[in-house]
């Protein structure tokens, strides 16, 4: 397979980059001053694109690669891939579902606990030597709080399961009610937000879910409510979120993702009621390695004419 060209468009863990380099003819998009003008001999060799949660294949890239057969994303979210265009051109698409479900759900609970129990702030308090001047202020209990989840897919369900362990009543919003679900369904995000303490965004980013968290939802969640986003930054109208936090219209937010990451609104840095993470939902050695193996397995299956491991398109 050494002659098969693979274009890497997203930053991935070194293990995956090295394996791609060993097994294929690897091109890295950042090696070109203008990716739209890849040298023609490279363009002719490229039969696969490997992306990530932050970079995929849009219509322009797909059109620019006439030999493209497969786009494999080192992520479960595929909002950076023009799936319609791939379908139209018969290009296969794969992602990395299942292997990261536990990790993202674990981190969600971590974010909730960090936010409500102010774990990061407590750590800063101890490190800065303030403890000797008195005790730290009281925080907020998590057990028993109502958790509202947007999107009851694999990750949403794994979060619900974990939150149940904290005796939290669970409710959810999704496009349609899940007949087999024991959790309370709300037909709108505003109703869900009005009836929960902690609102968790766990759905895929699509045109429909872009800015699903808007001013109305934030106001419905209110000054005692908490927003947790482990989905995509673009689920949230970020300027609205920032003003709600600054004005005290929202209790707090735990954010693993941002609208224009790695850029983070500076107003958030001075707030105590936010926990900010650098998009690390799946970032453990175990899970990222499993994701990398899925990317490699999908590419090899495709080029050997075998069924894809995790086909999307």
Q: Tell the smallest beta-carbon distance from residue 184 to ligand DGY (Å).
A: 27
Going edge to edge, which strands form the sheet with 198-201? Answer: 184-185, 170-173, 147-150, 198-201, 226-229, 252-255, 274-276
User: Does residue 282 bind ligand DGY (CB under 6 A)?
Assistant: yes
Q: Tell the smallest beta-carbon distance from residue 281 to ligand DGY (Å).
A: 4
Q: Is 11 a catalytic residue?
A: no
User: Does residue 10 bind ligand DGY (CB under 6 A)?
Assistant: no
Q: Is 232 a catalytic residue?
A: yes
DSSP string of 176-232, one letter each residue = S--TT--SEE-SSHHHHHHT-SEEEE-SPP-TTTTT-B-HHHHHHH-TT-EEEE-S-
User: Does residue 5 bind ligand DGY (CB under 6 A)?
Assistant: no
Nearer to ligand DGY, 100 or 244 (CB): 100
Q: Tell the smallest beta-carbon distance from residue 147 to ligand DGY (Å).
A: 20
- For the four alpha carbons of 69, 283, 102 and 207, in that order, the dihedral sign comes to negative
User: Does residue 53 bind ligand DGY (CB under 6 A)?
Assistant: yes
User: Does residue 100 bind ligand DGY (CB under 6 A)?
Assistant: yes
Q: Is 261 a catalytic residue?
A: yes
Choice among 17, 164, 216, 261 that is catalytic: 261
C-alpha R_g of the chain? 21
Closest by CA position to 100, among listed 296, 285, 300: 285
Choice among 92, 232, 288, 302 that is catalytic: 232
Q: In what helix (H) or strand (E) does residue 302 lie, and over which residues does it extend?
A: helix 285-303
User: Does residue 77 bind ligand DGY (CB under 6 A)?
Assistant: yes
User: Does residue 75 bind ligand DGY (CB under 6 A)?
Assistant: yes
Choice among 92, 118, 279, 288 that is catalytic: 279
Query: Could you count the other beta carbons within 10 Å of the beta carbon of residue 232?
Result: 24
Q: Tell the smallest beta-carbon distance from residue 53 to ligand DGY (Å).
A: 4
Q: How many residues bind ligand DGY (CB under 6 A)?
A: 8
User: Does residue 101 bind ligand DGY (CB under 6 A)?
Assistant: no
Query: What is the rounded distance in angstroms from the CA atom of residue 107 to the CA atom of residue 47?
Result: 35
Q: Tell the smallest beta-carbon distance from residue 100 to ligand DGY (Å).
A: 6
Using CA atoms, how far residue 118 sits from 106, 123, 211, 265, in Å, is: 17, 9, 27, 20
Return the active site residues: 232, 261, 279
Q: Which residues bind ligand DGY (CB under 6 A)?
A: 53, 75-77, 100, 279, 281-282
């Amino acid at each position: 397979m050494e002659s098969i060209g693979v274009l890497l468009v997203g930053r991935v863990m070194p293990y995956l980059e090295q394996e791609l380099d060993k097994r294929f003819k690897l091109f890295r998009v950042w090696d070109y001053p203008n990716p739209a003008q890849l040298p023609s001999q490279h363009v002719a060799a490229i039969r696969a694109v490997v992306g990530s949660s932050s970079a995929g294949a849009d219509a322009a890239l797909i059109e620019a690669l006439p030999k493209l057969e497969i786009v494999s994303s080192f992520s479960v979210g595929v909002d950076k891939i023009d799936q319609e265009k791939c379908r139209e051109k018969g290009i296969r698409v794969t992602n990395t579902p299942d292997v990261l479900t536990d990790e993202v759900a674990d981190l969600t609970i971590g974010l909730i606990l960090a936010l409500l129990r102010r774990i990061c702030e407590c750590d800063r308090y101890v490190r800065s030597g303030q403890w000797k001047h008195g005790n730290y202020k009281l925080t907020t209990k998590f057990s028993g709080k109502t958790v509202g989840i947007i999107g009851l897919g694999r990750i949403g369900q794994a979060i619900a399961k974990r939150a149940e362990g904290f005796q939290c009543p669970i409710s959810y919003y999704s496009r349609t009610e899940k007949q087999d679900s024991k959790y309370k369904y709300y037909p709108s995000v505003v109703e869900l937000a009005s009836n929960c303490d902690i609102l968790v965004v766990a759905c895929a980013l699509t045109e429909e879910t872009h800015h699903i968290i808007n001013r109305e939802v934030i106001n419905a969640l209110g000054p005692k409510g908490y927003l947790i986003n482990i989905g995509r930054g673009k689920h949230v109208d970020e300027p609205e979120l920032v003003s709600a936090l600054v004005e005290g219209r929202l209790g707090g937010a735990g954010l693993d993702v941002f609208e224009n990451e790695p850029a983070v609104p500076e107003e958030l840095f001075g707030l105590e009621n936010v926990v900010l993470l650098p998009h690390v939902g799946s970032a453990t050695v175990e899970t990222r390695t499993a994701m990398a193996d899925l990317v490699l397995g999908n590419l090899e299956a495709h080029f050997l004419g075998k069924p894809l491991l995790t086909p999307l398109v």
